[in-house]
Amino acid sequence: MVFALIGNQNCGKTTLFNQLTGSNQHVGNFPGVTVDKKEGTIRKQKDATVVDLPGIYSLSPYTAEEIVTRDFLLKEKPDGIINIVDATNIERNLYLTLQLMELEMPMVLALNMMDEVRANGNTIDLDILQQELEIPVIPISALKNEGIEELITQALKTASAGTPRRRMDFCQGEVHRAIHSLAHVIEDHAEAAKVPLRFAATKLVEGDQPMIQTLRLSHNEVDIIDHVVEEMEDTLGTDREAALADMRYAYIESLCAKAVIRHGESREQIRSTKIDNVLTHRIFAIPIFLLIMLLVFWLTFGVIGAGLQGLFEMGIAQVTALADQALTDFAINPVMHALIIDGVFAGVGSVLSFMPIIVVLFFFLSLLEDSGYMARVAFVMDSLLRKIGLSGRSFVPMLIGFGCSVPAIMATRTLSSDRDRKMTILLTPFMSCSAKLPIYAVFTAAFFPENAPLVMILLYVMGMVVAVILGLLFKETLFKGNPVPFVMELPAYRLPSAKSVTLHMWDKAKDFLVRAFTIIFLATIVIWVLQSFDIRFNVVTDSSTSMLAAIGKVIAPVFAPLGFGDWRASTALITGLTAKEAVVSTLAILLEAGDVSHVAPMLPGMFTPLSAFSFLTFTLLYMPCVAAMAAVKRELGSGWAALAAMAFQTSVAWVVAFGVYHLGMLLGF
């Protein structure tokens, strides 16, 4: 059996998916986390699969999420639907429920967050809901794993029983007349297209073009439909979509009047309103956000992460020493010995030592995300982003970009406007991804040890400022027009669960380890070979005569105007295209540092503080890694467009780094 898990954004859908399947999928508390459907086998039910579909508010095909969900329901025809509803906001959530019922599929309503409803002294009469909707209603708390077993049992039972005949007439008056009139016109078309009749008729009242195409209606039939809808609009004095929305909400209000008993606003909403008075303040919201991020960086790089990194470095150094001694005792060939110790251990080890910093940073970011604060940041940023031609919704992919550019670029699918989507794809790589943290950490330790957190946040802000300037440029040239309206629900502040935060940290650590032992492992071997042999594959005693030096010296003049003309710096930037962490591992190999703790003290021989900051500026802005470039190609649908985007980003990086270096020279730095 296949079940579709469907619900509004921020209703706990992904948390329920984790409970149903035991999946290690990260739970986010802001819109846009789930872009594509995700599958998992229901626990203790080997033959039952649940598909986690994007969070949506309706089945109208306007956004990428709605299209993914609608196509799955109509084309894949799952055996049942699990519709998760936020019980603390039941009126708004039931709007989607009524549309799902029109699909005439076996369906169970999972009433989530019932623990909060009870804690607030409110009541929902489940019997009335079940009697009126004629579908099973199961109270659950996905976060606390309450009611999950009962939900699984009822979903299997409902799907096995098939679709019962249900009363579908939630409408009345002119809307009722229009829906039933159109149902008679399209009955044979709906049957031929295998589309539920009630759903098809309702969509035609909305003016749904994909449905008209699916039903293959004649021009005369389309004229009849338009005439019926125009008559309905004239009688009601409103447009077709508003008429349907009014009809559904009128029914929902009457249903909730019978089934829901409230004793005022929930404690969570009252608390959230008080917090929002400060955190979303018209003047102080952005300064507060910057202060919070500065605190996060200070704790990550100056207090917690730095200490853990030191312990990790000691452990890696001990393992390296043991391996070195074992290879010596075993009398391994000197070339192979050098490859393992000076290549693999120096390269991969230098990157691995930064894992504590990555994990600690994402611990704090996960707290901010799962608490609901990041949703507020998107809301606050809407007014700023709108000035550069984007809506606050574009901030979600950009925010994900601070973690990794690949999922950030994929998250642009949630944007309903093609203009906004392409513009966001081009701007997102300027957000500093976590893979660049090892580069920042090494260079700040070498040149700015007293001001490391300040330099870190300056780099992050620089990426955002460059994106803003380019956005203004795009708005007047390539992407003229206005951004789509931004409507966003702010979830109540909630204490992040330990499981969610732990899973988030583990996901990032796992991704980091996979990169370290695949891409970076291979890159370090290639770099070591190129550095250790000349063009005739003779072992070199001086790395400046190696193949790598020859390649680097060809490229080095390009970077000389930026203050770093050393061939080793340009070589590190090239290897950074495989994965940005490879920049550090490459420098460790080229400097023959042995381990990462010795890289920073050796950098002042290659850079001045000003040229080091210029190098950091270039690494911040130049083209992303190969995986991100592949994502850009996939999303833009053109290899040439992706190459143009990469060339543009690298050109911007060169120009900005040039400006930083020469401005610094003028100011006497």
**pLDDT one-digit tens code per residue, 559-608:** 999 998 888 888 888 878 877 877 887 788 778 766 666 777 888 888 89
Identify the weakest region by mean pLDDT among 112-126, 216-230, 569-583: 569-583
Q: Are 96 and 83 in contact (CB under 8 A)?
A: yes
Each domain of the chain, given as residue ranges in start order, spans 2-161, 173-261, 286-666
* Averaged confidence pLDDT in the chain: 83
**Cα–Cα dist 369/508, whole Å:** 15
As given in the structure block, the two tokens for residue 124 are 């929902």
Give the dihedral of Cα atoms 413, 414, 415, 416; nearest 10 deg.
100
Q: How far apart are CA 37 and CA 25, in angstroms?
A: 12
Closest C-alpha among 58, 255, 25, 258 to residue 142: 25
pLDDT category, 63, cuts 50, 70, 90? low
658 vs 422, residue with greater confidence: 658
CATH 3.40.50.300 fits 2-161, yes or no: yes
For residue 576, the model assigns a pLDDT of 82
pLDDT of residue 27: 45
Exposure letters 525-560 (e unless 16+ CB within 10 A, then b): bebbebbbbbeeeeeeeebeebbbbeebeeebeebe
* CA 228 remoteness from chain centre: 43
398: nearest Cα among 385, 416, 389:
385
Sheet with 80-86, edge to edge strand ranges: 38-41, 49-52, 2-7, 80-86, 107-112, 137-139
**pLDDT given for residue 547 in this prediction:** 87
Over the stretch 530-558, which tens digit does the pLDDT of each residue have? 878 888 888 887 777 888 888 888 888 99
Confidence of residue 227 (pLDDT cuts 50, 70, 90): very high
Q: Report whether 578 contacts 524 (CB < 8 A).
A: no
Question: Over pLDDT 70: what percentage of the chain?
Answer: 91
The lowest-confidence range among 26-40, 141-155, 296-310 is: 26-40
Q: Taking each helix axis from N to C terminus, what angle separates 197-206 and 219-236, rounded to the nearest 10 degrees?
A: 70
Query: Above 90 in pLDDT, residue 301?
Result: no
35 pLDDT higher than 60: no
Q: How confident is the model at residue 151 (pLDDT cuts 50, 70, 90)?
A: very high
Query: For residues 111 and 552, which has the higher predicted lDDT (pLDDT)?
Result: 111
pLDDT at 640 over 70: yes
Q: With contact defined as beta carbons under 8 Å apart, do 201 and 189 qualify? A: no
Statement: residue 336 has pLDDT above 60: yes
More confident residue, 84 or 460: 84
Residue 26's pLDDT band (cuts 50, 70, 90)? very low
Hey, how many other C-beta atoms are within 10 angstroms of the C-beta on 259?
20
Q: What is the pLDDT of residue 167?
A: 60
Query: What pLDDT sits at residue 32?
Result: 45
Task: Say if residue 499's pLDDT is above 80.
Answer: no
Q: What is the pLDDT of residue 5?
A: 94
Which pLDDT score is estimated for 36? 57
Closest by CA position to 462, among listed 487, 485, 436, 438: 436
The b-or-e profile of 407-442 (16+ CB within 10 A means b, else e) is: bbbbbbbbbbbebbbbbbbbbbbbbbbbbbbbbbbb
Residues 6+ apart with CB under 8 A from 22: 40, 43
Per-residue pLDDT of 166-214, as tens digits, reads 666 677 788 889 998 999 999 999 999 999 898 999 999 988 888 888 8
Q: Is 237 exposed, middle or buried (0-12, 13-18, 19+ CB in 10 A)?
A: exposed
Q: What is the mean pLDDT of residues 82-98?
A: 92
d(CA 103, CA 46): 27
Q: CB-based contacts of 602: which residues, under 8 Å, 6+ apart?
A: 591, 593
Q: What is the pLDDT of residues 424-477, one digit of tens each?
A: 888 888 888 877 888 898 899 888 888 888 888 899 889 988 988 888 888 888
* Helix, strand, coil % over all residues of the chain, rounded to 5: 70, 5, 25
Going through 202-314 in order, the beta strands assigned E by DSSP cover 260-261
User: From CA 308, how far away is CA 356, in angstroms rounded?
Assistant: 6
Alpha helices in 136-218 (DSSP H): 148-161, 173-193, 197-206, 209-215
* Element holding 80 (H helix, E strand): strand 80-86
As its CATH architecture, domain 173-261 has Orthogonal Bundle (1.10)
Residue with tokens 């203004």: 472
